[in-house]
Amino acid sequence: MQQTTLKALADRFGLTLRGDPDHRVGAPATLAAAGPENVSFLANPAYAVHLAECRAGAVIIGEGLAERWSGNALISDNPYASWAKIAAHLSPEPTAEPGTHPAAVVADDASVDPSASIGPQASIGARARIGRNVTVGPGCVIADDAVIGDDSRLVAHVYIGPGCRLGKRVLVHPGVVIGADGFGLAMEAGHWIKVPQLGAVVIGDDCEIGANTTIDRGAIEDTELAEDVRLDNQVQIAHNVRIGAHTAIAGCVGIAGSTHIGRYCMIAGACGIGGHLTICDKVIVTAMSTVLDSITEPGEYGSGIPARPHARWKRILVRLGQLDDWVRRLRRLERNQS
């Protein structure tokens, strides 16, 4: 953890400084836990009540709330984004040492840049290409003909299938499987026949893939993620899915095959999205929703049912069971009155 002055942070990240420019801060902390050596932030006005007892060395805060804080302030148009940048600056990721661990296995015809770091028990397949400053962590498997772009990081136990291609600065968390076979089956005479999955997976620059997420290879064409796509943990992306740039998908979402999702979409946790659909740009899907039809207009969509007290929920279920009978009775009344 490194320390720096508030002036240095303000200059580096283009913020307005109010207070002591020479005050030094290091570890980021919450408003409630921060002390004089910490920097904290306030993005949600609901947490402004904590300012009264906050002891932070500085708070990253918006102009509209800054008057409620009497201490050192770093004033930002987007406090949460500024917090993310400053926290990363003060808590940098450890740099991996270049070189190949003696316990790694690298094919003779693989291309590994000298600046890359290949960890223990990693396996690099034939004709694979590993770019500059790439980190391939312990236990990772890079299959034949795969490509890992410059400055990408595979944390540990990641599988990259044959012919799959990752762009630059891609972060892949532990347990991810990219390029396993898609779920392609044909029925004949009462038995399933496996359909060969001949495509690959192509991932753009600056993407992040959460732990234990799976992205299936395409059946014929490639499964594709454009630049700056962010996937949470335990997401399932089926074969031939295409996801547009800057889209974020939360944990436990499942997307069936050949669905296309646009740019700047946000898919909340535990959603299920059917196959062969199109979701246009700038769509928000709320948690636990099921999408079975294409979405052609930007906006917010949802079908998840919020939790209710159990006794109340049982009454709702009884009424739902009666709904069809009520509709029939209403139609009879309407016919009798007409």
Report d(CA 162, CA 255) in Å as an integer. Answer: 22
Report d(CA 79, CA 60) in Å as an integer. Answer: 6
Q: Is 310 a catalytic residue?
A: no
Annotated catalytic residue: which of 23, 50, 173, 239? 239
Report d(CA 305, CA 295) in Å as an integer. Answer: 20
For residue 67, the one-letter residue type is E
Report d(CA 268, CA 178) in Å as an integer. Answer: 22
Q: Which residues contact 66 (CB under 8 A, 6 or more apart)?
A: 18, 73, 75
Kindly give the pairing relationship between strand 165-166 and strand 201-203: parallel
In this structure, the number of other CB atoms found within 10 A of the CB of residue 141 comes to 19
CA atoms within 13 A on the CB side of 161: 21
* Residues designated as active site: 239
